Chains A and B, each alone.
Chain A
Amino acid sequence: MSYQFDFSFLADRWPDFVAGAWLTVQLTVVSIALGLAVGTVCALIRVYGARWMKAPVGVYVELIRNTPLLVQIFIVYFGLSSLGLKLSAEVSAVIALVVNMGAYTTEIMRAGIQSIQRTQLEAADCLGLTRLQTIVHVVLLPAMERVYPALSSQFVLLMLASSITSQISAEELTATANLVQSDTYRSFEVYIVVALVYLALSFLYRFGFWLIGLVLFARKRKLGTAL
């Protein structure tokens, strides 16, 4: 094999990669936050909601979980614009990621909420907690604590899946790679660099979620027991 690896493009193109990675981080942090909110509300509806509310949420979850993100992104970006709703690539990307993330989070949070025993709710009632207090402190936080490992790995998967938004030319990390490789013709090297950046990002995210978990679920740390 006579191939000469050449990473010299990094010398003047590294700011592009940094900008791409930064947009990836921005897109995914916003999508994770909004997706978690959508998923939590939908999960509450799926467990405690009235029947007429449960059905549409169920359809939403099944539709999203059984179709590829790529096609969802195309429907939001190309589909909606052909119906007259023009959105920028970045906004479309966030919408598609939030809708996608929301469906997966619903299922994860639902498992957590269903694991909360009825007696806990009755105890909260006896203590005179308001409905909101009960939902936040008795249902949501303990539920989240139980499914936190599944949630955080879903968040990391979303970060990796955000690379797909490059297909509608949202200028995130993968799109930057596509651009640089078409300028420099060093495709293999460019994608090696980007793969390493994604790998670093996924470790960073995992570490970040671990830290957030420590803060959010402090009680677990003090007691040292697994709920």
Chain B
Amino acid sequence: MIQLNANHFIYLLQAATWTLLLSLIAFAGGSIVGLAVALLRVSRVRALRALSSGYIQLIQGTPLLIILFLSYFGLGILGYKLVPIVAAGLSLTFYAAAFLGEIWRGCIEAVPKTQWEASDCLGLNRFQQYAYVVLPQAVKLAIPPTVGFMVQIVKNTSLASVIGFVELARAGQIINNSTFEPFVIFTVVAAIYFALCYPLSLAARALERKAHAGR
């Protein structure tokens, strides 16, 4: 049995950088796909709205754990080598996209209808309406809940451990396997997650207060 020492702590911090990297991948990918989901959700074409809402229902009705397994084994079937970070990045991207898409749809719909009408009157086309009138106002509304959702993304990267991606939670398990001190190790792991998430939570709350004060 190995005693816990400083090297274990350094190992955990290194793993935490992988947690951060995976969170960034998930957030970047989720933002791109999520924006598409949100725009389709408010599209004028009924079929596109149905498609996007079906996607959201499907992802929000399935546990992330199962999505991870499906993309891990599914990629294997398609003949790609099983690289955990790819499977984890893809799963979290599609997962985040469903939630961000739904959050952002709400923000787009919260822009007053008169803004659409006014920009119609000015002869802006659909793209110009989005780019210059609606989205800039929607973004302002979207920032607090989006920062709040980033907390969920960071926490959910812990599930990537189940397909063997060595991030913070997996690193904790690995150390535990050699030292058998689960209470100490997982408390430290939890503390590191807390250090990553709590500032985001505080920021989300502060932004929300600021947004309400502005009105």
Contacts and interface: CB of A to CB of B under 8 A. Distances in A.
B74 interface: yes
Interface in B160-198: 161-162, 169, 172-173, 176, 180-183, 186-187, 189-190, 193-194, 197-198
A207 B202 CA distance: 34
B58 interface: yes
B66 A65 contact: no
The 7 closest A-B pairs by CB, nearest first: A78-B182, A79-B183, A68-B158, A163-B63, A66-B197, A202-B61, A187-B73
B125 interface: no
A87 interface: no
Interface of B: 58, 60-67, 69-70, 73-74, 76-79, 151, 155-156, 158-159, 161-162, 169, 172-173, 176, 180-183, 186-187, 189-190, 193-194, 197-198, 201
A67 B61 contact: no
A62 B162 CA distance: 26
B70 A192 contact: yes
B190 A199 contact: no
* Secondary structure type dominating chain B contacts: helix
Interface string A67-94: 1111110110011111100000000000
Contact of B194 (A67, A82, A161, A167): A67
Interface residues of A, number: 39
Q: Which of A62, A74, A80, A166 has the most CB of B within 10 A?
A: A74
Contacts of B181: 82
Interface of A: 1, 3, 62-63, 65-72, 74-75, 78-83, 156, 160-161, 163-164, 166-167, 174, 177, 187-188, 191-192, 194-195, 198-199, 202-203
Contacts of A69: 155
Given A68-B169, A70-B158, A70-B161, A160 B186 contact: no
Given A68-B169, A187-B73, A78 B186 contact: yes
21 contacts: A62-B198, A66-B201, A67-B190, A67-B194, A68-B158, A68-B159, A71-B158, A71-B193, A74-B182, A75-B183, A78-B176, A82-B183, A166-B65, A174-B66, A188-B74, A191-B69, A191-B70, A192-B70, A195-B66, A198-B62, A198-B63
